[in-house]
């Protein structure tokens, strides 16, 4: 891993860890067979798989929000960047989700995608589209 990647948190980045795990699975497969890889995956992921039964994940908050809102109106929600702060490799993004001239939720994250997901989760929790007295933006 290069110094720049190391300095920007590359060892903790989900995509980097996912790529390394995929490479490990490929090496196991090439060295043995598919059944060995299957056993390894099930062993390594046992706690995560067990946790899914107990606490289901909100898989796609942006998609869920869009489905709910489009059942009411043909307009899709819009995600608007409010701010971005921090150094280039340590930015924090703040986003709001707008629909029908209303701010339904706000969120922040280390990437725009994370901030949009957080805004969608906020909107799903608040359910402001159900409150007709909610003040609309000019």
pLDDT tens-digit readout, 89-126: 888 999 999 998 899 999 999 999 999 999 999 999 99
What is the predicted pLDDT for the residue at 135?
A: 46
What is the predicted pLDDT for the residue at 9?
A: 77
Ranges in the chain, pLDDT < 50: 135, 138
- Residues shown for the chain: 138
The runs of H, that is alpha helices, within 1-138 are: 3-7, 14-31, 34-44, 46-54, 61-72, 112-126
In angstroms, the Cα distances linking 50 to 11, 35, 60 are 26, 21, 20
pTM of the predicted protein model: 0.56
- Dist CA 133 CA 106 (whole Å): 19
């Amino acid at each position: 891993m290069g110094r720049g990647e190391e300095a920007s948190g590359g060892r903790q980045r989900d995509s980097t860890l996912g790529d390394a795990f995929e490479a490990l699975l490929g090496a196991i497969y090439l060295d043995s067979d598919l059944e060995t890889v299957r056993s390894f995956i099930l062993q390594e992921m046992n706690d995560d798989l067990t946790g899914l039964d107990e606490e289901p994940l909100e898989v796609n908050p942006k998609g869920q929000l869009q489905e709910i809102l489009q059942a009411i109106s043909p307009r899709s929600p819009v995600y608007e960047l409010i701010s971005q702060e921090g150094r280039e490799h340590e930015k924090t993004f703040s986003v709001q989700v707008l629909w029908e001239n209303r701010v339904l939720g706000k969120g922040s994250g280390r990437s725009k995608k994370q901030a949009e997901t957080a805004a969608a989760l906020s909107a799903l929790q608040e359910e402001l589209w159900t409150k007709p007295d909610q003040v609309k933006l000019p």
